[in-house]
Amino acid sequence: MNAFALTVVITTYNRPALLRRAVHSVLSERTGGAAVEIIVVDDASTIPLPVFAEPDLLCFRMTANGGPGPARMQGLRLARAPWVLMLDDDDVLRRGALEGLARELDRFDALSYPVVQFASSNGRFASDYPVVDLHDYLGGALTGDFTPVFNRSVFQQTGLSYPVNRAGGEHLLWWRLAGDYGIPTFSRVLVEVTADAGERMTRAAAQILRAADHRQLAEETLQQFGDLLRRQYPAEYRRVSLARITYSLLSGKRRAARRHLAEAPVGAGMKAALWGASWLPLALIRRMFILYRRQSGRGLHAH
C-alpha cells in the first residue's frame, strides 16, 4: 500500500455540505502511508464552499460553470498521481476503499488500459475482472453506477475527454473507451451512492431546465453511434431518438422536433401523439413531461 499513489478528483457546484462529507470520506482513507492527493474542482459555485487546510489537498475554481465534463478534465490535468479516481460530491468512499483498490490493481494487469472501473453501491455486473466492451454497455450487461479510475498517462495519450455538456453525457466517453480499448471492471464497491442531494440531473425539473443540453447530448449520441444503434440495438436507438424529440419540444425547438419525428423509429400512434404535442403551449408540454415522469418513474435522457 505504501507504493500506491492516487489522486481523488471531486467536482462540485453549490453543495458545500455534501462536498465537506465527500472530502472527509477521502481523508479517512489516508492510512498506512498511502500517497493520496485530493483535488476539488469548483465549477464556479455561486455560494461559498468550505476551506480545507489539509496537506495534498488542492482547490481549483473554474472561471465559468461548464458542467461536470470540463471540471473533471481539469482535475485530470492537475493530478500528479498515476491513478485518478473520480468522486461525485454527493457520494462517499467506503471504508477500506483505497486499500482494496490498490490490491485489485496489483492482482490485475491494468497498466495498459486507459481506465478501469469499480462497481458503486448500486452498480451490478455479472462477473468479476472482465474487460467489458461496447456491446456490454449497449446490450445492458452493466446496470447502475460504476466508479472510474483513470490510468492518467495512458488515458491522456488517447486524446479522449469527457463531453462538454452541462447534462453530463459521460456515457459517450465510456462507449468510446469500451469500444476502442476495453474497460476492466471490478465488482468490489469503492463508492457509496447517496440519495440526499438537493438536485440531481435525472429529476424532471432539472431535465426541463437543461432541456437544450439534453437535446444536444441526444444529437451527439446519434451522430457518433446512431448507425450502430440502428443496426444492432434498435431499442436503444428508439430511446435516444425519442429523447431528441422530447428535449427538442421541452426547449422550444418545435420544428426540429417535427423533423426528427418524421424519421423516428416509433409507431403511428406515438408519432400522432408527439405531433399533436408539438403544437401545444410550452408550459403545457412541460407539465405533461412532469406527469409522465411521475407515472413512469424514469426520464428520457440520452443515457
> Are both 172 and 241 inside the same structural domain?
no
> Greater confidence, 259 or 167?
259
pLDDT surpassing 50 at residue 132 = yes
Mean predicted confidence (pLDDT) in 164-172: 92
In the chain, the amino acid numbered 241 is: S
> Are both 91 and 127 inside the same structural domain?
yes
Evaluate whether residue 174 is within a structural domain: yes
pLDDT, tens digit, for every residue of 65-83? 999 999 999 999 999 999 9
> Are both 181 and 208 inside the same structural domain?
no
Evaluate whether residue 197 is within a structural domain: no
Write the CA distances from 118 to 19, 85, 128, integer angstroms. 21, 10, 10
Residue 220, phi then psi, degrees to nearest 5: -65, -40
Mean predicted confidence (pLDDT) in 76-99: 96
* Residues 221-239 as b or e (16 or more Cβ within 10 Å = b): bbeebeebbeeebeebbbb
Evaluate whether residue 302 is within a structural domain: no
Residue 12: band (very low, low, confident or very high) from pLDDT cuts 50, 70, 90: very high
pLDDT, position 195: 80
> Domain range holding 277?
204-296
> Are both 47 and 188 inside the same structural domain?
yes
Pick from 161, 192, 223: which residue ends a domain? Answer: 192
Whether the CB-CB separation of 22 and 89 falls below 8 Å is answered with yes
- Domain count within the chain: 2
CATH of the domain at 18: 3.90.550.10
Whether the CB-CB separation of 49 and 19 falls below 8 Å is answered with yes
Mean predicted confidence (pLDDT) in 61-65: 96
Evaluate whether residue 41 is within a structural domain: yes
> Are both 11 and 159 inside the same structural domain?
yes
Evaluate whether residue 23 is within a structural domain: yes
pLDDT, tens digit, for every residue of 230-273? 999 999 999 999 999 999 999 999 999 999 999 999 999 999 99
Q: pTM for the whole thing?
A: 0.91
Find the DSSP H helices in the chain. 16-27, 68-78, 97-107, 134-138, 152-158, 171-180, 204-209, 211-232, 234-250, 254-262, 268-277, 282-296
Evaluate whether residue 58 is within a structural domain: yes
> Are both 36 and 136 inside the same structural domain?
yes
Q: What is the 3-state secondary structure (H, E, C) of 162-217?
A: CCCCCCCCCHHHHHHHHHHCCEEEECCCCEECCCCCCCCCCCHHHHHHCHHHHHHH
* Alpha carbon of residue 120 to chain centroid: 12
pLDDT, position 130: 84
Residue 240, phi then psi, degrees to nearest 5: -70, -35
Cα(261)–Cα(263) distance, rounded to whole angstroms? Answer: 5
Mean predicted confidence (pLDDT) in 108-129: 86
Cα(270)–Cα(273) distance, rounded to whole angstroms? Answer: 5
DSSP label at residue 143: B
pLDDT, position 297: 59
Evaluate whether residue 303 is within a structural domain: no
Evaluate whether residue 74 is within a structural domain: yes
pLDDT, position 1: 45
Decide: helix, strand or coil at residue 136: helix
> Greater confidence, 111 or 232?
232
Q: By C-alpha distance, which of 188, 3, 177, 8 is closest to 108?
A: 188
> Are both 173 and 268 inside the same structural domain?
no
> Are both 181 and 251 inside the same structural domain?
no
Pick from 160, 192, 224: which residue ends a domain? Answer: 192
pLDDT, position 32: 63
Mean predicted confidence (pLDDT) in 217-223: 97
Residue 107: band (very low, low, confident or very high) from pLDDT cuts 50, 70, 90: confident
Pick from 192, 222, 238: which residue ends a domain? Answer: 192
Cα(90)–Cα(193) distance, rounded to whole angstroms? Answer: 8
In the chain, the amino acid numbered 30 is: R
Residue 200: band (very low, low, confident or very high) from pLDDT cuts 50, 70, 90: low
> Are both 149 and 53 inside the same structural domain?
yes
> Greater confidence, 114 or 196?
114
> Are both 154 and 290 inside the same structural domain?
no
pLDDT, position 259: 96
pLDDT, tens digit, for every residue of 267-295? 999 999 999 999 999 999 999 999 988 88
> Are both 10 and 80 inside the same structural domain?
yes
> Are both 119 and 182 inside the same structural domain?
yes
Q: What is the dihedral of CA 191, 214, 75, 102, to 10 degrees?
A: 30
